[in-house]
Chain A
Amino acid sequence: AQTVTQSQPEMSVQEAETVTLSCTYDTSENNYYLFWYKQPPSRQMILVIRQEAYKQQNATENRFSVNFQKAAKSFSLKISDSQLGDTAMYFCAFMKHNNNDMRFGAGTRLTVKP
């Protein structure tokens, strides 16, 4: 079974600074997908960024980027130039290739302070 671990229950960052959220996972699979989802206080989850395990290049979406270390089974999210609207729960998630149930970590609550 796949497990996803987020070791930081809460984080805070000053507006305009950079913050990194950690995620590790455990799997015997070689092909899979990793995701970071954001869940603002309104509770609707939205996708932040997606990484395909067979791609060595780290995914980037504007201010959001990942550090994907396949051998270490690590998938951290870096948020640059943090904004107040980034305040939310962030969930790391794993999905096997050709499977569809997504496994989530317990989440990290990020607060961006003005």
Chain B
Amino acid sequence: GAGVSQSPRYKVAKRGQDVALRCDPISGHVSLFWYQQALGQGPEFLTYFQNEAQLDKSGLPSDRFFAERPEGSVSTLKIQRTQQEDSAVYLCASSLALGQGNEQYFGPGTRLTVT
């Protein structure tokens, strides 16, 4: 079946603009995760959902970052008033269920460049 998809793949935003990044998880996957990956670094956890519930948003770097998953499927990560330090690849992952060390399946990422 189809894997995790993300759109757009590339996004260039001027400083101060708002952006919305979309994630389509694998059908039937209950859990959805967002990560931020700076150049040359490992992914950093941002937030995760179980169905439509956002269970942990402790990794969101500021209140300019907001994520939602209103129907328990597609998720959107929104960044308001983008800053240069927001430039990174944003990865989405989904897994069948929470807990038990389940494998997370990653999307290709959205590369955000803030100019």
Bound Cα distance A37, B101 (Å)? 14
- Please classify how large the interface on chain B is, using the bins under 10, 10 to 19, 20 to 34, 35 or more: 20 to 34
Contact B108 A43 (CB under 8 A): yes
- Contact: B98 with A105, CB < 8 Å? no
Can you list 14 A-B contacts (CB < 8 A)? A4-B42, A37-B106, A42-B108, A44-B3, A45-B106, A47-B104, A91-B42, A101-B58, A101-B59, A102-B33, A102-B45, A104-B42, A106-B40, A106-B42
Residue A33 interfacial (CB < 8 Å): yes
For the complex of A and B, the 5 pairs showing the least CB-CB separation, nearest first, are A33-B101, A104-B42, A45-B106, A101-B45, A44-B108
B residues in contact with A32, CB < 8 Å:
101
B44 CB-CB contact with A under 8 Å: yes
Contact for B106 among A44, A105, A106, CB less than 8 A: A44
Residues of B close to A103: CB separation below 8 A: 45
Extra contacts besides A42-B108, A105-B42 (18): CB < 8 Å: A32-B101, A35-B101, A37-B106, A43-B89, A45-B91, A47-B103, A52-B101, A91-B42, A100-B31, A100-B33, A100-B56, A100-B99, A101-B45, A102-B33, A102-B45, A104-B42, A104-B44, A106-B40
Quick one: given A42-B108, A43-B108, A100-B31, are A91 and B101 in contact (CB under 8 Å)? Answer: no
Main secondary structure of the interface of B (DSSP, over half): loop
The interface residues of chain A lying within 8 Å CB-to-CB of B44 are 104
Judged by a CB distance under 8 angstroms, whether B43 is at the interface is yes
- Cα A106 to Cα B48 in complex, Å, equals 21
